[in-house]
Structure 1
Amino acid sequence: MTLLVTLLLSFCVFALIIWGLMHMRTPRFRIDRKDFLKGLEDVIAGQADDNEWRVLIGYPMRHDPLLEQLRLECLEIEEGEYTGGSPYLFTDAGLERLRQVRRRLLAAGIDK
């Protein structure tokens, strides 16, 4: 009798765990325009490190076509102008191109 109760309880716990895992949503990281702007400003001001830059440009932004376009442009800037130095991660030309990206974002509006 004890064996049967143990098996039944084990089965229920196992089934509950499987059910929970099946219904659990995967976490989603979503950056909005204000966060993207803040990240760009930190990079331009020399206040961001390499990790912050990677978080800023590392995730596709399918929820906002403009942000995705700007992210891809930032990746292009990174290919030619990234130094990884301290405090500025980019050359002067790269920082100017990032300022242009920032201006385009501000012109498009950050409340969308």
Structure 2
Amino acid sequence: MALYLLVLGVCLLVIGCVFLALVTAGTPRYRTEANDLIALFDKALNSQVSETEWNTIIGYPIRHDEYLDSIRRRAMHLMDAHGRRWQIAQGKPLLNQEGHAELSVLRDHLAAHTALRQTQQR
């Protein structure tokens, strides 16, 4: 009987610890920030981004910042209008020349906006 109570107590302790760990652990969240978008745009401009990486960041909505989400939607529109997905495997640029120019302008605009926002927060 003592062995039964000992096993029962250890099982309840283990189950209780697992339950407590699951209740207190939060769901991991990924927040796309301006620096993440700038880095992605730099990679795309240098033809170093894969289609999977592009779709992972650009295809995920940014709910915490409406401005960043508008930039993300604009980049998605650029890919739809000027994307050359089939040539990435051959080492060619992600976008055609017109899309490349528009992405460069979008990247510069985002970098300037981010720098202005950082100076205002100081």
**TM-score where L is the length of structure 1:** 0.86
Question: Any idea what the Cα deviations from partners look like across 1:9-66, whole Å, max 9, x if unmatched?
Answer: 1011011101111111111112222221111011011111112212331322222222
Aligned to 2:94: 89
| Counterpart residue number, 2:78 | 77
Question: Percent identity among equivalent residues?
Answer: 24
**Tell me, what secondary structure is at the counterpart of 1:26?**
coil
CA separation in 2, counterparts of 1:87 and 1:64?
A: 32
1:54 paired to 2:46: no
- Contact 1:47/1:87, CA 8 A, preserved across alignment: no
Distance 2:57 2:17 in 1: 38
In the TM superposition, what whole-angstrom CA distance separates every residue of 1:76-99 from its partner, at most 9, and x where no partner exists?
112222212233111222212211
The equivalent of 1:98 in structure 2 is: 103
Structure 1 gaps, min length 5: none
Q: Relative to total residues, which structure has the larger helix share, 1 or 2?
A: 2
**Residue 109 of structure 1 aligns with which residue?**
114
Query: CA contact under 8 A between 2:59 and 2:76: conserved in structure 1?
Result: no
Normalised TM-score (structure 2): 0.80
Taking the aligned partners of 1:64 and 1:36, their CA distance within structure 2 comes to: 13
